[in-house]
Amino acid sequence: MRSPWSFYGRRVELSQLQAILARRRWFFLQISGRRRIGKTTLIQEALSAEQRARTLYLQIPDSDPVGVVAACNGYLETFGRPERVSDLGELARLVARLAEAGHIVAIDEFQYFHRKPLGDFCSLLQAEVDRLAARASEISGGLIVLGSLHAEMTALLENRDAPLFNRTTDRLDLGHLDTASILEILRVHADTSPQRLLFLWNLFEGVPKFYRDAYEQDVLGAERRKLLQRLFFASSSPLRGEADNWFLRELRGRYDMVLQHLAKHPGCTNAEIEAAIAQVSRAGETKQIGGYLKILTERYRMIERKLPTFSPAKARSGRYYIRDNFLRAWLSALQRPVSATAFRPLEELITQADERLATVEGHALEALAGQLYEERSRLGLGDFPLSDRIHGYWDRGDVEIDLVAVSEPGQRIRFGTCRRNPEKLLSSLDSLRSGAGSFIQAQGRFRGWRCEFVAIAPEIAPDLRHRLQQAGVIAQDLHDLTAGL
């Protein structure tokens, strides 16, 4: 019999939320994080049975006031509440009445109130929140608002000219599960082999809902092709429409073209993106690319802009990368094979997707290794207490370093090369040492420090490990980097 699914990770956030609920006074809590990151699950885990009985959950649709009111009335009926609302003002007043009566109201997709047709709600809610805050010690209920669009949640709750500015009493930002939590899931429901960890982390990173989907389909411990078929290629696959429904449906204009190009060409400059879009667009449309990049970076947080190493924060040059593992894997490896299932042999398409994913995993290994260095240092594990990780990229094309880690106390700096195929590690050492020399020359403060070199792969055989050590290089695989987590 399979072990039942449980609540994994989030121990700090869970403790914080339970402490907020235990105060038994008015609270207005903001919980932010990407879709599927576990915001609602965290609330469910934190609530006691008594508190659950006094909780009303509302999910706001991307609609007009009539649609929002209809949806809220549907939730009131589902939760057995007798009340009904006819407009946004009544909804704001109902939230206040329930909180006064000791209830907890959770409003999900709160960022949609940033839409112009719904803009009045926050002003209406402000009056009710101010009234409740004035009697905070007398009120045992509270309001939780959850949102997945960072810029819009910021505009609603943190901008000085927003009606609800400075009204929240508490805030939680949920990021991805750390690697230790992912390993906990794999220990219980699959295995912790380096190949499985990298494969799943490249697909799902630290999004608990995706691991739960794999568990529900009974493929969390299955071989790669079976997992891909069950989760993406069957007509009932839970993740078949995930990216389109929860990422790409928010986008309008040329955003999807920009994302498609970045998925195939990570590290593009603004000019390179404009040139690519110009080939398939009408004259003049490339003028909007800068705006698209800004919105994808700041509003949706789907991409990130990395600056050249050692450049100032306001440098104009920069390269763009898709920041979400799932979206990158979908666009670069899965979207087209999945969309072709009605026209091509299934086995052929799964093979194509798996091969493309293997290519993407090379980039994912670099990110995972850097994350593991940070996590191990926070936990006091290993022999390299981290004080900084150098991010960014080199303007010089002949310099290639995948990891630069700094340990200030012992004046040590570690340069790493990451290869999905461990047989390529030895051939990359000359480039690594040359790059490290250029790094030290460009950044004089590290002169005189102890330089260390590390070769990283998912798994390194004993004979290769010995050869790397003879070459003066530390060999580290995912067994080494996850030891103790």
- Expressed in angstroms, the distance from the first to the final Cα of the chain is 26
Residues 347 and 222 reside in one and the same domain: yes
Answer whether residue 423 is part of any domain. Answer: yes
Coil vs helix vs strand at 165: coil
* Residue 6 placed within a domain: no
Residue 227 lies in a domain: yes
Place of tokens 């070459």: 471
> Hey, which residues does 147 pair with through a beta bridge?
32
In a domain, 374, yes or no: no
Each residue's pLDDT, cut to its tens digit, for the chain (485 residues) gives 789 999 999 999 999 999 999 999 999 999 999 989 999 999 999 999 999 999 999 999 999 999 999 999 999 999 999 999 999 999 999 999 999 999 999 999 999 999 999 999 999 999 999 999 999 999 999 999 999 888 899 999 999 999 999 999 999 999 999 999 999 999 999 999 999 999 999 999 999 999 999 999 999 999 999 999 999 999 899 999 888 776 666 665 567 788 888 988 888 888 888 888 888 766 555 567 888 888 888 878 889 988 877 676 677 778 899 999 999 999 999 999 999 999 999 999 999 999 999 999 998 999 999 999 999 999 999 999 999 887 766 655 556 789 999 999 899 999 999 999 999 999 999 999 999 998 898 888 899 999 999 999 999 999 999 999 999 999 999 999 999 99
Instruction: Provide the H-helix boundaries in 322-448.
Output: 325-329, 335-339, 346-378, 429-442
Residues 236 and 277 in one domain: no
Q: Clarify whether residues 69 and 194 are in a common domain.
A: no
* 166 belongs to a structural domain: yes
Question: What are the E-state strand segments in 295-418?
Answer: 303-306, 319-322, 388-389, 403-407, 412-418
Assigned domain for 371 exists: no
Q: Are residues 25 and 117 in the same domain?
A: yes
Specify whether 167 is located in the same domain as 205.
Answer: no
Beta carbons of 369 and 403 less than 8 angstroms apart: yes
Structural domain count, the chain: 4
Residue 165 lies in a domain: yes
What backbone torsions phi and psi does residue 457 show, to the nearest 5 degrees? Answer: -145, 165
pLDDT for residue 260? 86
CATH of the domain at 137: 3.40.50.300
Encoded tokens for 132: 């409740």
Biggest CA pair distance of the chain:
76
Here the tokens at position 234 are 């069957």
3, part of any domain? no
Do the beta carbons of residue 404 and residue 443 sit within 8 Å?
no
The CATH number linked to 432 is 3.40.1350
347: containing domain: 179-244+331-362
Cβ neighbours, 10 Å, residue 122: 22
Residues 213 and 287 occupy one common structural domain: no
Whole-structure pTM over 0.85, yes or no?
A: yes
- Give the span between the Cα atoms of 393 and 319, in whole angstroms: 8
- What 3-state DSSP class applies to 226? helix
CATH number at residue 260: 1.10.10.10
Q: How far apart are CA 56 and CA 76, in angstroms?
A: 8
Distances (CA, A) of 118 to 35, 128, 138, 283: 21, 17, 31, 36
320: DSSP letter: E
Residue 443 CB coordination number (10 Å):
14
Q: Are residues 54 and 139 in the same domain?
A: yes
By the 8 A CB rule, do 476 and 456 touch?
yes
Are residues 294 and 229 part of one domain? no
The sign of the dihedral angle between the CA atoms of 113, 117, 122, 128 is negative
> Could you give the CA distance from residue 273 to residue 262 in angstroms, rounded to a whole number?
8
Among residues 157, 173, 189, which one ends one of the domains? 173
